[in-house]
Copies of this chain bind each other. A is one copy, B any other.
Amino acid sequence: MAQQVEVQNGGGAAEAKAVSVTAVKPQLFVEAPKASDAISFYKAAFGAEEVSRSLHPKRKADQELPLILSAQLLLAGTTILISDASDDSAPAAKTAGAGIVLCLETNDIDAAVSKAVSAGAVSEGELEETEGACCGGRVGKVKDPYGFTWHICSAAAAACQEPADVEA
Interface residues of A (CB under 8 A from B): 1-3, 5-8, 19-26, 28, 30-31, 34, 37-38, 41-47, 49-52, 74-78, 80, 96-100, 102, 104-105, 112, 115-116, 118-121, 144-148, 150
Contacts and interface: CB of A to CB of B under 8 A. Distances in A.
Contacts of A146: 28, 30-31, 34, 37-38, 41
A146 B98 CA distance: 12
B26 A26 contact: yes
Given A28-B146, A31-B146, A38-B146, A22 B76 contact: yes
Contacts of A148: 28, 99-100
A97 B99 contact: yes
Given A7-B44, A23-B77, A50 B1 contact: yes
A3 B119 CA distance: 41
Given A1-B49, A5-B47, A30-B146, A21 B75 contact: yes
A41 B144 contact: yes
A52 B1 contact: yes
Contacts of A46: 21, 24, 104, 112, 115-116, 150
Contacts of A96: 98-99
Given A31-B146, A146-B30, A148-B100, A44 B105 contact: no
